[in-house]
Structure formats: C-alpha cells, structure tokens
Structure 1
Amino acid sequence: MVLKGSSLWQTFAVVLVLSVFALVQAEDPYRFFNWNVTYGDIYPLGVRQQGILINGEFPGPDLYSVTNDNLIINVYNNLDEPFLLSWNGMQQRRNSYEDGVYGTTCPIPPGKNFTYILQAKDQIGTFYYFPSLAFHKAAGGFGGIRILSRPRIPVPFPDPAGDFTVLIGDWFKTDHKKLQAKLDRGHKLPFPDGILINGHGPNGAFFTVEQGKTYRFRISNVGLQNSLNFRIQGHKMKLVEVEGTHTVQTMYGSFDVHVGQSYSVLVTMDQAAQDFYIVASTRFTDKILTTTATLHYSNSNKAVSGPIPGGPTDQIDWSLNQARSIRTNLTASGPRPNPQGSYHYGLINITRTIKLVSSADQVEGKQRYAVNSVSFIPADTPLKLADYFKIGGVFRVGSISDKPTGQNMYLDTSVMGADFRAFVEIVFENHESIVQSWHIDGYAFWVVGMDGGLWTPDSRKEYNLRDAVSRSTTQVYPRSWTAIYMALDNVGMWNVRTEFWARQYLGQQFYLRVYSPVNSPRDEYPIPKNALLCGRAQGKSTRPL
C-alpha cells in the first residue's frame, strides 16, 4: 500500500533517515516523494506501446531539490518483474548502497516497495534518473533531476523567468522485452525509429514563454545509443551549467549532447512574437533522424513555419572543438562558498594511470562488448553486499586490468580495486568508428583532454590543467582518446559503464571498488537498515557487524 501524502509515512521516513544517517545535519531539509511504477499505454511515435510510467506519467516527474536536501523516495514496483532506479550524475556521497544499479542494490521485487534515502550533498545542477535493470530504459521510467543552489550561495546569472526540463533521446517502437530478447539471442539492436522530446515525437512537446524574458532549459540525453544535436530556431543558447558545474557562459547556435550527458542553457525570447521549432537530430549517423517541439510565445498568433533548421554538417572536428570550448567558470560559486576547496586539480600529482579500451566481438557465438578484454557478467549477489558481508566467490578484486591486455574477449564479473584518496588519471581510448559515451557513478571528474589517434604520455602536454569542466559523463570520438582526472574521495563500489545501453547490457561495464581500511562513517555510511537483501546476502542482518 502506498501511503501517498500520509503524515504517518513522513514520520516513519524521518525516523528511518535519522537512524541511518546520524551524521546528517539536523537543519538539512527533507523532501518526500511517493512514486508508483506501473506499465501503461503510450504513443510517442503514433503507435501504441507498453511504457513504464511513474505516477502515471511518461516521462516521470521531476525530482526537485536544493543543495544538501535529504530526499526520501518511496518507490512501489507495480510491474511484473524486478525494478531499480539509478541517479545519473547525482553523486551518492559515501553511500553506494543507494546507487540503484545491480552491482550495489538488490532489485525491488514485483508488488513491493523500497525507500531510497539520498542526500544532494554539496551538489547543484542538472541530472536525470532512469531504470537500470534489464532493458527497462527502452520503455521509459526516466525523469529529470534539478538541484538548486542554497539561497545564500550566489548563482552567476539572474533568476530565469522559468525552468524547463528537456529530455531528449532516441526511441524504438518495439517493445522493450523484445529488444532485450534480441540482445539475449546475440544480435545487435537495429537503428532507432525516431527521436523524442519529453516523451513526444514530432511537434508533440510544447514550451510556452513570454516575449522579452529569459528561461533556463535543462537538456539531458536519456536515449539508448545516439548523440543528438539540440537547437532552437532563431535563438542563441547561453551555456551556464554542465552536470553540476557552472561553466564559462558561451553562446551557441546548437550543441551536441551525447548519451547520458546533461546541460543547462539560458535562452532569451528576443524574437518577434511567433512560434519557433525546437529541434533534436541524430549526429554521426548515415541516416539523420529529426524531431521537433514548439517554442510558443504567449502573445503569438503565428504557428511555426518554414524549413526545420538544420544541424551542423561537419562531423567530428566541429563537435570536438565545441567540447573543448566548454570550461569551468572559475569566478562562480559552487555548492559551497569555496568551490575550489583547498586544492586545484591541475596541481595534484597523479598516483595512477588507468587506460580503458573498449571492444566489440562475439563470445560463444553471441555479440558481446568489453572493457580491456573483459565482458562483464552480473553475479548472483550485488557486489556491494557481498563485499560488506564478506561473501566469497561473488567477485574478485583485480579481475580487470587497469591497462589493455591484448587478450581475446572473455566473460567475468570485473571489479577494479582503487585506494581511497588516490588521485588518478583515466584514459578512455576508442579504436572504433563510433562516438562513445562513458559514465562513472558516484563521481564527477575533470575532462582534461581529448584528441584523435592513440594516447601517449606526450598527450599530457595538451591537457587543460586550469579550467577543464567537471562532469560525470564524457564522450570519446572515433579512433580518439579522452583523458580525465579524478579524486577518489568517495568510498564504495561504483559502476563504470558505457552509456550505450545495449553495450552496457552486453558487458561494457565494470565496478570500481574504492576502498578504505578504516571502517568509519566519516568515509562511508553504514548499510541502510531498510536495505533489500537478495542472492547469497538473503537472510543476513543489516545491524552493524
């Protein structure tokens, strides 16, 4: 039973949170959400499909927060199969138990509920949530996350007149279970059928604005595999934030949003009163898929007209140069009064270099994808729980190398060990002809360099060690490399994955175990008392060991 709006539920949740997070400051506010996950009929591309709805909505409702808020999200799974939600880019500080991927969290069984207990600790910005199990992401279940700055922390632009969530992504008309079955049989996915904007196909989404005012658009690519170019007819977009980082405020006519990435832009309604196209189209594909929404001036009597504005015709160089132009606003405040902390990333010595190379191949006659030759297979027990309860035989730290090995692809439950407080350099090297997109849960990292060809130590001469953007998802261009710096300041078991969801499902991921020998709640919160237990952790106690 979902106790929607119930004071009894809220009282229970507060007690639960305080018992689990004794270190959370009492003055940090609580926000309560009750989400009912169901199947329902949707028609995004004009044909009936079975979609995943949250509180009857497709896409799901926005998750709204302010820095340091405690979020109590009661998720009731009314599907006929297990379900999990994950939080793309919203870092779970010291709390990978709540990450919502199978390596850390047991699925919510059908007909049951689970209460996520999250904190927007020292975060601002634009992110999204999505279903992480099976191939649910192809059916919906995603929505926007917006974390606003606390009132006493200045924001480097005036308050906009409105704040819109814009979820863009490629879409299939085929049922998600059929797509999953196709992957299970060892086949690749076909080309998508269309592009959606906020769950709508062409001309379906509608944004009403007032002439002369400025609005914030929070754009996230929640799709399955395609980079998209985003643009608004007749309007320039001022980039102000990327996945929790205030950026140098640069104007763009359009920009590429790779799978899993999020951006915030300000748009001033400075045109004559009429309606305009908002456009999203595929990039780096032979066939270009395009969809539109409508930007409606409230005093307009003229519908959208004329040709749909085209995107960039140049392929890689245009996009690469744009990516390099996105930089951190060093004069802006972050979620804390001193956003730079006591150090600057460009002045820290690297303690380890990790090079990750993706590959595609067949294993036992079925299509698989890998990182450093290892194609990930899920264990029978979430890795974080096996680690906590010291259950042997579930995974082995070091089962993936931190350098390419040149071996043929093989299957394993790959976990890479790493030391708490290390400062690492990670190089993503792409030997394929597609643009790739990589995400690391629990962290933001500095994108210090990207270029064509193979990475070498001399490539460090090209790094931006002053104002590189900090984010949680980065692209790697065809036959190119991207380098990041990352401070391993978040203890836990964290998913490193491609954001191409078929590749992720077929093995292109692993877990980074950031370990501290000191069993202290200052480094990592204890296992939640309400944690679901499954696999070999079934029947264990969540009381302190």
Structure 2
Amino acid sequence: MAPKPAELWCFYVALALGFMGIAIADSPYRFFDWNVTYGDIYPLGVRQQGILINGQFPGPEIYAVTNDNLYINVHNSLPEPFLLSWNGVQQRKNSYQDGVYGTTCPIPPGKNFTYRIQVKDQIGTYFYFPSLAFHKAAGGFGSIRVLSRPLIPVPFPEPAADYTLLIGDWYTANHSILKTILDGGHRLPNPNGIVINGRGPQATTFTVEKGKTYRFRITNVGLQHSLNFRVQDHEMTLVEVEGTHTMQNTYSSLDVHVGQSYSVLITANQPSRDFYIAVSTRFASKILNSTAILHYSDSTTSVSGPIPGGPTNEIDWSLNQARSVRTNLTASGPRPNPQGSYHYGLINISRTIKLESSAALVDRKQRYAVNSVSFIPADTPLKLADYFNIDGVFRIGSIPDFPSGKKMYLDTSVMGADYRAFIEIVFQNHENIVQSWHLDGYSFWVVGMDGGVWTPASREQYNLRDAVSRCTTQVYPKSWTAIYVSLDNVGMWNIRSEFWARQYLGQQFYLRVYTPVKSLRDEYNVPDNALLCGKAAGRSTASP
C-alpha cells in the first residue's frame, strides 16, 4: 500500500546536515504535518467524540526506511495539552522525543511541536498513540512501518500487498467520562466492543487475488484486553515481531496482547469467496468479537454463517504459542549481519531486577503499583529536570529493585541504571489476569516465561540462543516472564503496564540509564526546539 504524496514527502540531502547536534550525511528525511482535532467518529455505530489527525481516525500511517529521519510537526488544536508517543521506535540517545510526560513537555492548546526522530538501525511494525489525559481511549493512534533498506534482503518473497490492522477493545463512552471514573478512584467497566482499523464488525475489507501472498501487520492498540486474531480457513506464517524477523512458524490463530505488533503472511489459496477475519477477546469473562472481510477479487459469495471460533481462556495454549515465537538467526535485521550474530546468552548479567504489580486503595481511591510504588507525575518532565540539574523533582532509587512487601504508597518513582550494563528483569504476576509490559527506548530478549514464582533456578529453562527480541511482553496469570536488556541507550525511559487504566493510575516508573561522560556520542543535547515547562520553563536549550 503506497503512501499518499500529500502525507509523506521524502528527499535525500547531498551534504551533511545537523540533526540533534550530530552531523548526518546522505540520510533520507521524511516530513509530516499533522493537525490534531476532535471530531465525530462512529467506531461501534454510536456517535462519539474522537481524536482525529488530519481528519483521520485512525491517524495517518507512517512509512519509513531504516535510518530515515522523521520530522513530524504536530499542531495541537485540542482545548487541552497533548502528546504523542512512539511505541517501539527506540529514540536512540534521544529520550527527549519519547512523547511521555516523564520526558517531554506537552504541546499546549493552539501550539505546535516538531518531533525529530531517527529510526536508527530499526525495521518492523510499530505504532504511535496519545499518552496524556486518557486520550488513547479517544483515538489519535496510527501505524508505523519501517522497511529494510533495499540492499538488505528480507527472509521471504515480496508480498503482493502490505496491509495494516489496528485492533483493540473500545468504549462507546467519551474518553473524558472514562478519565473522570478513574480520577474518582473507580475501576473502568468492561469495554463495549472491538474495533478493527477504527471500525466495527464487517466494516473493513481487504481484497486479495487468488494464489497471491499478502503481509498483514497486526497491532493491538487497545486499552486492556488480549485479543486472538484468525482468518477463516486460512493459515498464517509469522515473519516479524516488533522489529525481529522470526522463525516462520505457521498458526491458525495468533494471540496479540496489548501493545504488541506482529507481521504474518497469508496466501489466498482457498475457493474464491469472502472469508471472515475474526478478532476476539482472550481470558475475559465476557467474550467480545469483531470481524473484517477477506475478499477474493473474483468472489461473488459474501460471508455467511457463524464467525469461526477461537481460543478463550486456555492459558497453556497461549503460553506454548508464545514460547514458539523465536528469532530467525540467519536473517539480516536492519544491518546485513545475521540477527544471531549477537550472542546475548554468553554475556554475564550484572544486575537482576524483579518487578511485581499490585492493586490497592490509597486514600480510598483505586491505584496500581510496581514494587509497592504507585507513580505520580512531577511538575516537570524528569528528563528535563535531570538535564538542567533541577532539584526536588525526582529521587534516584525511589523504587526498589525487588518487591519490598510494603504497603502501597505514592511517589515519582525513578530507578537508576548504568550505561552499558547488561541486566535481567523478571516480571512476577500474582494476579489472575494476563499482564502486558513495555519498555521505551529498547528492544529486549524474552528469555523465559512459566507458571508459579520465579527463583534463580528458573534460569535453567531460559532460552539463551534464539529468544525473540521485542519491546512489549505478556506475563500470564500466576506466572513470570524474564527478559535480558543491554542498556546501550542513555536516557530516561518509561517502563509501564500497557493496560492503560493501570498505567494512568500509577503502574509505571522510569529507568534512568546514566553515564557521567557528557558526550554527543552517548546522548544528544536537549533539542533546540524543545518545549520547556514546569521548573524548566525559561531555561536555555543552548546549555544546561
């Protein structure tokens, strides 16, 4: 699916140009000009107020190629502050542009801000979304696809077309009503349905030609539910997960947890008619379903009959599928060297961090926490406070490395970490729900997951050879998931629950990856166009 000329303009510079204080020669630049507004949308057939970007819901798709520089000029025409975050785009040495309040000042109403991002050494499928004020429940999200450079081969033939499916649970209530419920200390009710590319059942059609193979990029942009994706009478071959080419396993259905992205190949090898593309909730007391249509170009027969059923609460089935997702060690990533050339399993771990979620009432209001600390935003973005050496905004070590057993409390939680350390993080889930966790600024290796309580002996079952590298991972009920992370990206990086009500009510913190060496080789300076707010207001971006 080719980008529209009005949405995307690319040119190659002939001379070295300044980019975030570093000279980059011959790097492609792509320019986007977006206007963010409210408007009427009807995702489940009910009129409601949604967030539009250039009049679109979902927002425009970003197309890029490895190492492209993206200049995204965002005009905030909402009556309140606004921020966009870039889920999975790693923002090398540049957490100022991450688009969450811990790193970036909101765009004031009536103002604009230009994000300047390089998709450095990345390929794959990602998405953007609004990160403030529960705006995510109103839309404002869209897909990001980063293609390989032409000289670097991908491990599968060029598909006949490349389709995007943004799937997620959805509320018909206005996002401001949902925010009021959370601010009042209450939990949200169950969602009203599932949307596919912003539309309800059978409202979206993908046309295929018999005998050809198509790439489908599937991203769960919802608020809380794991979803199962399947295509009636068709199998799918998994080829990419959040920037990693995978072993090309075949599945009849695929679990996509909140915040996760997958690419699959589907061959139109059935009799010419229309087929259901089905999406349904997993691990939920009430099963919600939605459908799109896979339409053979010469079909004269519409879909009929029941929607093909999928798994519902089978934890072991999902766990085994997750373990089967592995890296294709012989495929090139964004560079020509094979993905398996980085032997993560042979590197000594310098630190272990164990993170435990919890839910409790604090001052008679519902809150969520990590290691007993429920995050509260400071009056100044943490990264700006760090850069300008502003005291009293946050404290390093305000969240412990291990569960403390303390009663839940509120704090602006920041964990310190050393640049170039190689660490192990264990997510321990004592709850009866599937959790989803994301780390900004990085991809990590999902080395293990299993039921019960993690202990050092659990390392004996780790996959130290071909674990998938990604930025969002699930943790099953009464289970644990372990990841390895190479801390090669200096900055202030958000670790959060992808269940958005939980994130909003405190289930997040920041990892400050620090080096005492002040060098543009390791981290860029604050952008010269940075918005400065809170205690950073009035400072000069020329020097701290």
User: Shared fold by TM > 0.5?
Assistant: yes
The question of whether the paired residues in 1 share the 8 Å contact of 2:167 and 2:220 is answered with yes
For 1:206, the equivalent position in structure 2 comes to: 205
Give the letter for the 2:254 counterpart: F
Distance in 2, matches of 1:217 and 1:6, equals 21
For 2:269, the equivalent position in structure 1 comes to: 270
Distance in 1, matches of 2:335 and 2:70, equals 19
The question of whether the paired residues in 1 share the 8 Å contact of 2:328 and 2:339 is answered with no
For 1:243, the equivalent position in structure 2 comes to: 242
| Partner deviation per Cα, 1:61-87 (whole Å, 9 max, x = no partner) | 111100000001000011010000001
For 1:168, the equivalent position in structure 2 comes to: 167
For 1:223, the equivalent position in structure 2 comes to: 222
Give the letter for the 2:111 counterpart: K
In structure 2, the CA distance between the partners of 1:532 and 1:339, relative to structure 1 (3 Å rule), is: farther
Matches within 5 A, 1:221-370: 221-313=220-312, 315-340=314-339, 343-370=342-369
Distance in 1, matches of 2:106 and 2:447, equals 36
Distance in 1, matches of 2:500 and 2:209, equals 38
Q: Higher mean Cα deviation, 97-106 or 334-343?
A: 334-343
The question of whether the paired residues in 2 share the 8 Å contact of 1:35 and 1:55 is answered with yes
4+ runs deviating over 3 angstroms: 4-7, 17-20, 339-343
For 1:456, the equivalent position in structure 2 comes to: 455
The question of whether the paired residues in 2 share the 8 Å contact of 1:125 and 1:244 is answered with yes
For 1:397, the equivalent position in structure 2 comes to: 396
Q: Higher mean Cα deviation, 443-452 or 296-305?
A: 296-305
Q: Higher mean Cα deviation, 297-306 or 402-411?
A: 297-306
Distance in 1, matches of 2:173 and 2:23, equals 45
The question of whether the paired residues in 1 share the 8 Å contact of 2:89 and 2:119 is answered with yes
The question of whether the paired residues in 1 share the 8 Å contact of 2:282 and 2:313 is answered with no
Distance in 2, matches of 1:269 and 1:23, equals 47
The residue matched to 2:24 in structure 1 has which SS? coil
Distance in 1, matches of 2:7 and 2:319, equals 50
1:19 Cα deviation after fit? 3.5
Matches within 5 A, 1:375-386: 375-386=374-385
1:197 Cα deviation after fit? 0.3
The question of whether the paired residues in 2 share the 8 Å contact of 1:20 and 1:528 is answered with no
For 2:499, the equivalent position in structure 1 comes to: 500
For 1:532, the equivalent position in structure 2 comes to: 531
Distance in 1, matches of 2:305 and 2:467, equals 39
For 1:53, the equivalent position in structure 2 comes to: 52
Q: Does residue 1:430 correspond to 2:429, yes or no?
A: yes
Distance in 2, matches of 1:5 and 1:531, equals 26
1:326 Cα deviation after fit? 0.2
Distance in 2, matches of 1:341 and 1:525, equals 29
1:341 Cα deviation after fit? 8.0
Distance in 1, matches of 2:395 and 2:179, equals 28
Distance in 2, matches of 1:10 and 1:150, equals 15
| Partner deviation per Cα, 1:217-238 (whole Å, 9 max, x = no partner) | 0000000000000000111000
| Partner deviation per Cα, 1:343-374 (whole Å, 9 max, x = no partner) | 41000000000000000000000000000000
For 1:407, the equivalent position in structure 2 comes to: 406
Identity, % of aligned positions: 75
The residue matched to 1:248 in structure 2 has which SS? coil
1:313 Cα deviation after fit? 4.5
Gaps of 5+ in 1: none
1:538 Cα deviation after fit? 0.4
In structure 2, the CA distance between the partners of 1:314 and 1:394, relative to structure 1 (3 Å rule), is: closer
For 1:154, the equivalent position in structure 2 comes to: 153
The question of whether the paired residues in 2 share the 8 Å contact of 1:20 and 1:529 is answered with no
Give the letter for the 2:222 counterpart: G
Distance in 1, matches of 2:523 and 2:339, equals 23
Give the letter for the 2:302 counterpart: A
Distance in 2, matches of 1:449 and 1:530, equals 42
1:259 Cα deviation after fit? 0.2
In structure 2, the CA distance between the partners of 1:59 and 1:386, relative to structure 1 (3 Å rule), is: same
Give the letter for the 2:210 counterpart: Q
Give the letter for the 1:500 counterpart: F
Give the letter for the 1:349 counterpart: N
Give the letter for the 2:133 counterpart: A
1:18 Cα deviation after fit? 3.7
For 1:76, the equivalent position in structure 2 comes to: 75
The residue matched to 1:485 in structure 2 has which SS? strand
The residue matched to 1:368 in structure 2 has which SS? strand
Give the letter for the 1:449 counterpart: G
Distance in 2, matches of 1:5 and 1:259, equals 31
In structure 2, the CA distance between the partners of 1:407 and 1:153, relative to structure 1 (3 Å rule), is: same
In structure 2, the CA distance between the partners of 1:6 and 1:329, relative to structure 1 (3 Å rule), is: closer
Distance in 2, matches of 1:91 and 1:20, equals 16
Distance in 2, matches of 1:91 and 1:350, equals 22
The question of whether the paired residues in 1 share the 8 Å contact of 2:330 and 2:339 is answered with no
Distance in 1, matches of 2:356 and 2:7, equals 50
1:112 Cα deviation after fit? 0.6
Q: Does residue 1:135 correspond to 2:131, yes or no?
A: no
Give the letter for the 2:398 counterpart: S
In structure 2, the CA distance between the partners of 1:337 and 1:10, relative to structure 1 (3 Å rule), is: closer
1:526 Cα deviation after fit? 1.0
| Partner deviation per Cα, 1:380-404 (whole Å, 9 max, x = no partner) | 0000000000000000000000100
1:10 Cα deviation after fit? 9.7
1:340 Cα deviation after fit? 4.3
1:338 Cα deviation after fit? 1.5
The question of whether the paired residues in 1 share the 8 Å contact of 2:99 and 2:131 is answered with yes
The question of whether the paired residues in 1 share the 8 Å contact of 2:213 and 2:266 is answered with yes
In structure 2, the CA distance between the partners of 1:290 and 1:341, relative to structure 1 (3 Å rule), is: closer
For 1:120, the equivalent position in structure 2 comes to: 119
In structure 2, the CA distance between the partners of 1:415 and 1:14, relative to structure 1 (3 Å rule), is: farther
Distance in 2, matches of 1:159 and 1:26, equals 29
Give the letter for the 1:378 counterpart: P
Distance in 2, matches of 1:161 and 1:14, equals 31
The total of aligned residue pairs comes to 539
The question of whether the paired residues in 1 share the 8 Å contact of 2:241 and 2:470 is answered with yes
Q: Higher mean Cα deviation, 30-39 or 336-345?
A: 336-345
Give the letter for the 1:35 counterpart: W
Distance in 1, matches of 2:527 and 2:84, equals 17
Distance in 1, matches of 2:42 and 2:23, equals 43
1:5 Cα deviation after fit? 6.8
The question of whether the paired residues in 2 share the 8 Å contact of 1:445 and 1:472 is answered with yes
